[in-house]
Amino acid sequence: MPSFRTTGTFSILCLLSFGCTRIPQTNDNGVSSIVNSRIAKEAYWNQGCYEDERIANAIQVLIQQELTADVAVQIALLNNPKIQEIFEEIGIAQADLVEAGLFSNPAFDIVFRYPPKKELKTNIEYSLTSSLIDLFLIPLRVKVAKAELEQITLRVTNEILDLAFEVEQTFYELQAAQQDIKYIQSIVELTSIHSQLTSRQRSVGNVNKLEFQQIQSRYLEAKLEVARIQNDIIRLREKLNRLLGFCGDIHWKVSDSLPEIDYQGLPIDCLESVAFSERLDLQSARFDVLRLSRMLGIKQWWVYTQGRLGIGGERDPDGTNLIGPAFSGEIPIFNYGQADRMRIHAELRQAKDHLAALEIQILSEVREAHKLLMNNLGIINDYRAHIIPLQSEILESSEELYNVMGLGIDRLLENKRQEFQAYSNYIMSLRNYWMARVQLDRALGGKLYLVLSQIGCEMNSYECTYEGVSE
């Protein structure tokens, strides 16, 4: 099982264990803990406390290291402003929850009527009323707001995880490109030497025109391949720089080698069951259905009476003061919530359809990622067991024949080029594996081994006891 924590990450976790105490903070509603349980990384909501400067210093320490995928993800979660933008959705939802539990402000009305005669007093009518509907409506509003807060919490967490997976995927692409270009540059050097030798042989008539042209073409194509990979490296470095949250040309170095493969296959039913229950966007969609169902209770006809209850009084022109209960409201004849209920019913059906479509999409994503992983594993194993050893044997045999004048320098160089090409293809297979590996993590809603360890799936025995699924 791979380790998801690094020394740099551990220092960040220790640093974050001290909260801001001077300024009261909005609770992140458990987003950080969910993120940590899913990908073993710390997400931090920057709310302008003294801890922020210490986090910034820690990021500078991390950026001086040779970056791994884990370190890159941790830097992005702490430094990318997009994370802070996403977090603020929690603050907005919490404010909506507070507002849902508040009574409407009392209304005060006063009317002055001046008498036509001086000996009469000014007629004053006044009333102080407060919403009667709030007594029944507040509990319903609070239930809706709580469901919305849970939905937004899950959506925010899912967006943070998506950004983390995008960082990881981009990192592996960049890592593979930087590793691949070394082999392609070696191929360019070999084809350049071969081209020069062929040019000399061509000048003395030992090589025909067609063979010379083919070797020249191979050399030019290899040079263009280097340029193409350099374009990819430029694009991927800038993309990763953006994801890390850096606006300038910050110097950071990516580790050279891709990690070792860590997946040998799991029962697809187990993976589908895990994703079906653990995907946060799916849980968010379920809460959206619940929220809309609860909203129907707020849009009943009696809500549109706008009933208010209080006290009212009047001072007559003769000085008599009268006081008594006051009630005001609307008569829901024309608008009794029919349009709002139609709208909510449509939104509810839409939310249920979205939930059904998302379920289909998630199960498909799991199957796709699993099949790609197994296919890439087969390719990698073929390269390791057959193709690369065979290329090494071919080169060794070529060198032996060359030493006894049984093979020309051109064939020796060509066989060496084929060996470099095999290694280049192998790196691309590893890249495809890790792209699919991140895709599977994303499809499950978190790091594979972390998610499975929390719900009781046994990795080695290929057994899954989650929700009664057994293989």
Q: Provide the pLDDT confidence category of residue 50 given band limits of 50, 70 and 90.
A: low
| pLDDT tens digits for range 330-387 | 888 898 889 999 999 999 999 999 999 999 999 999 999 999 999 999 999 999 999 9
> Does 87 score more than 50 pLDDT?
yes
Confidence at 280, pLDDT banded by 50, 70, 90: very high
Instruction: Please tell me the predicted confidence (pLDDT) of residue 459.
Output: 43
Whether pLDDT at 418 is above 60: yes
> For residue 181, which of 222, 235, 214, 215 has the smallest C-alpha distance?
222
What does the alpha-carbon distance between residue 54 and residue 60 come to, in Å, rounded to a whole number? 10
Q: Is residue 2 part of a domain?
A: no
Q: Tokens in use for 25? A: 């903070």
Q: Do you know the residue count of the chain?
A: 471
Number of structural domains (the chain) is 1
Which is nearest to 194 in space by CA: 415, 410, 403?
A: 410
Q: How far from the centroid of its chain's Cα atoms is residue 394's Cα?
A: 46
Confidence of residue 86 (pLDDT cuts 50, 70, 90): very high
Q: Is residue 454 a part of any domain in this protein?
A: yes
Task: Give the Cα separation of 61 and 78 in Å (integer).
Answer: 13
Please give the residue that has the higher pLDDT: either 203 or 393: 393
pLDDT over 70 at 228, yes or no: yes
| 5 vs 366, higher pLDDT | 366
Whether 35 is in a domain gets the answer: yes
| Rounded mean pLDDT, 422-442 | 96
pLDDT of residue 319: 84
Assess whether pLDDT exceeds 60 at residue 10. no
- The C-alpha atoms of residue 199 and residue 135 are separated, in whole angstroms, by 94
| 302 is a domain residue | yes
Lowest mean pLDDT among 236-240, 351-355, 382-386, 399-403: 399-403
The DSSP bridge pattern shows strands 463-464 and 457-458 to be antiparallel
Helix-, strand-, coil-residue percentages of the chain, each rounded to 5: 65, 10, 25
Bridge pairing between strands 321-328 and 308-315: antiparallel
Phi, psi angle pair for 266, to nearest 5°:
-140, 155
CATH code of 187's domain: 1.20.1600.10
Query: 189 lies in a domain?
Result: yes
DSSP string, 220-273: HHHHHHHHHHHHHHHHHHHHHHHHHT--S----EE-SSPPPP------HHHHHH
Closest CA to 208 of 48, 410, 448, 2: 410
pLDDT (0 to 100) of residue 26 = 65
* pLDDT score of 202: 79
Q: Could you give the CA distance from residue 109 to residue 321 in angstroms, rounded to a whole number?
A: 16
456 vs 81 pLDDT, higher one: 81
pLDDT class of 147 with cuts at 50, 70, 90: very high
For the segment 156-176, what is each residue's pLDDT rounded down to a tens digit? 999 999 999 999 999 999 999
pLDDT at position 24 over 70:
no
> What integer pLDDT is reported at residue 456 of this predicted model?
61
In a domain, 145, yes or no: yes
Question: How much of the chain exceeds pLDDT 70, in percent?
Answer: 90
Query: 281 is in which domain, residue-wise?
Result: 7-468
284 vs 451, more confident: 284
Chain-wide mean pLDDT for the chain? 86
User: Quick check: 389 pLDDT over 60?
Assistant: yes
| 1 in a structural domain | no
Instruction: Please state the pTM of the whole predicted model.
Output: 0.84
CA distance 107 to 127: 8
Q: Is 456 left (phi over 0), alpha (psi -120 to 50) or beta?
A: left
